Amino acid sequence: MAAVNELPASEAVRALQRGKLTSEALVRACVERIEAREPDVEAWAHFDAGAAIAEARARDRAGRPGPLHGLPVGFKDIIDTADMPTAYGSEIYPGHRPVGDAACVALVRAAGGVVMGKTVTTEFAFVNPGKTRNPLNREHTPGGSSSGSAAAVADHMVALAFGTQTGGSVIRPGSFCGVVAYKPTFGQLSYTGVKVLAASLDTLGTYGRRVADHALLRAALLGAPATVALVDGPPRIGLCRTPWWDRADASSQAAVEAAGRALAAAGARVTDVDLPRELAGLTEANQDIMVFEGRRSLAWEFAHREKKLSPRLREVLARALDMPFAHYAGAVALARSCRQRFESEVMSDLDALLVPSAVGEAPVGFQTTGDALFNRAWTTIGAPCITLPGHTGPKGLPIGVQLVGRPGADERLLSVAEWAETRIV
């Protein structure tokens, strides 16, 4: 029998609501796991065991269970919390206390969740890696920028966690750490109270162990359906090798093709799909939008605390002020055009697109958090994405496969993903 801290969030909530498990017992199990494993994994930027247990006891006394009653949740440390530090992964903000909670934190608390702590992020959720190690092999990166959130869920330190994605910062760490990670349609989850990097791209996302965990969170934050079971027959899935297919390693290519065969054998209508040539430009557009907007979002930090920014961040953003506005506007226009073509041409007869989650398994070392190549396009057009574990690479580390949906059709995507998650292994 699995330890209670290993339960998927959706199962833990049912046990909590039925009185078969207390929040204090669940949080204590998570605390014990964190205390045992944090020296190796280093997933947390801020964690206070006593405060988490006290909050769990308060949930147990409340007697009016919400949809997340008693469930421990981690938050990436670019998400504001009034009662614990939010440092944005930066030396500029040590011990910084925001005046209020971010919207997602406030909504989780209102739904009965326990704020477990703050998970490690790269500097301002951009390129400079943090301290976190991959819990499956600490010589490898966990991905980024949502490094700590992915690692904490993968290592059974917490049932759910929030991350953010501007390029590939939710999906790629989910693939590297072997958990289910979900990036919603752009704007569906409120970004209020989250440190902005690129407002045209930044998207709040979530980590869990089952697709149902993400539906649970959507229900709590949006009032969306708490269950997403596929009820109208097997899905229509497009297997898309993408314009970047030759840059995926053999194990990532094999994972996608094996998933396509397994889903077809289970009854899905799987067809090969090519993207319009125009969409190949989205990877460069994503980077251009990110650096142009990122340099301006961090204007105060550059003006007043530049010496406390990492050399890598300064180097990456140095060219942004020289980028002509017309070039940036062209990237934004391309994103808009490609989203329209994606909806009207690519997804007109599909429920989901099956593509790689990452170039391959997690790289060795910590100079980089990995390549966001297979995530940038979908982020740039605001499409919902989910990565599902089930495959491994040559070094025994996880390789996810990614399902991409039509913008706004998140519940349909989640229903397809829930149908697929037990069929791709």
CATH number of the CATH domain containing 68:
3.90.1300.10
- In the chain, % helix, strand, coil (3-state, to 5) comes to 45, 15, 40
In this predicted structure, what is the pLDDT of residue 231? Answer: 81
Coil, helix or strand at residue 167: coil
Give the domain range for residue 124: 1-425
How many other CB atoms are found less than 10 A from the CB of residue 311?
Answer: 8
**pLDDT tens figures, 376-390:** 999 999 999 999 999
For the stretch 254-265, pLDDT in tens is 999 999 999 999
Positions marked catalytic: 76, 145, 169
Can you read off the two tokens belonging to residue 203?
Answer: 């998207």
Number of domains in the chain: 1
CA 70, 75, 77 angle in degrees (round to 5)? 150
- Positions of E strands within 141-277: 160-165, 180-183, 203-208, 236-240, 269-273
Tokens of 394: 């040559």
Q: What is the pLDDT of residue 1?
A: 58
Model pTM score: 0.98
**Ranges of the chain whose pLDDT falls below 50:** none
Determine the Cα–Cα distance for residues 88 and 33; give it in Å rounded to an integer: 25
List, in order, residues 6 or more apart from 223 with CB less than 8 Å away.
Answer: none
What Å distances lie between residue 269 and 45, 237, 262, CA to CA? 44, 6, 11
